[in-house]
Amino acid sequence: MGLTRKGEYAIRGMIYLARQEPGKLILVNEIAETVDVPQSFLAKIFQGLTRLGLVRSSRGAGGGFTLARPAAEISLREVIEAVEGPICANRCVLDDGFCNRSAHCTVHPVWHRVQDQVGAILDGVSLAELSK
């Protein structure tokens, strides 16, 4: 019913990046240490964030990670969905196969309302705000 550690860690790491000089490359090692998460795990998480275009990475000596866009233009929702998958109150809203009763299910509209509300809140918060 809540965020997993992956999500929590990703958020911590991204906020740390948002606090740095824009464009400056930061070692995953440094991030992991200061936000207090296992570095190997954070490296894995940041791999995913790179693939999805939330951060840019540079290999080799002097490499590291940096935000792909200005912190003000990255929402909390983006970060969360990148690592946790889409906001979803109940699988039946996503998977059509999960419950074949979608058509006449009275709870369905409730799930949609929940998702819309949560989505809106998370959309409205940027990394820039969180880094203050």
Partner DNA sequence: GTATATGAGACAAAAATGATCTTTTGGGTT
Partner DNA sequence: AACCCAAAAGATCATTTTTGTCTCATATAC
Residues that bind DNA (CB under 7 A): 4-6, 9, 27-29, 37-41, 43-44, 46-47, 50-51, 57-65
Q: How many residues bind its own copies (CB under 8 A)?
A: 32
- Give the ranges where the chain is alpha helix by DSSP (H): 5-18, 28-35, 39-51, 76-84, 91-94, 108-123, 127-130
* Tokens representing residue 67 in the block: 């935000």
State the minimum distance, in angstroms, from the CB of residue 106 to its own copies. 5
91 binds its own copies (CB under 8 A): yes
Identify the burial level of 113 via C-beta atoms within 10 angstroms of its C-beta, where 0-12 means exposed, 13-18 middle and 19 or more buried: exposed
Buried b (16+ CB within 10 A) or exposed e, 118-131: eeeebeeebbeebe
State the minimum distance, in angstroms, from the CB of residue 14 to its own copies. 11
Which CB sits closer to DNA, 6 or 77? 6
Residue with tokens 């959309």: 123
30 binds its own copies (CB under 8 A): no
Which CB sits closer to DNA, 45 or 76? 45
Q: Which residues bind its own copies (CB under 8 A)?
A: 1-3, 7-8, 11, 15, 76, 84-92, 99, 106-107, 110, 113-114, 117-118, 121-122, 125, 129-132
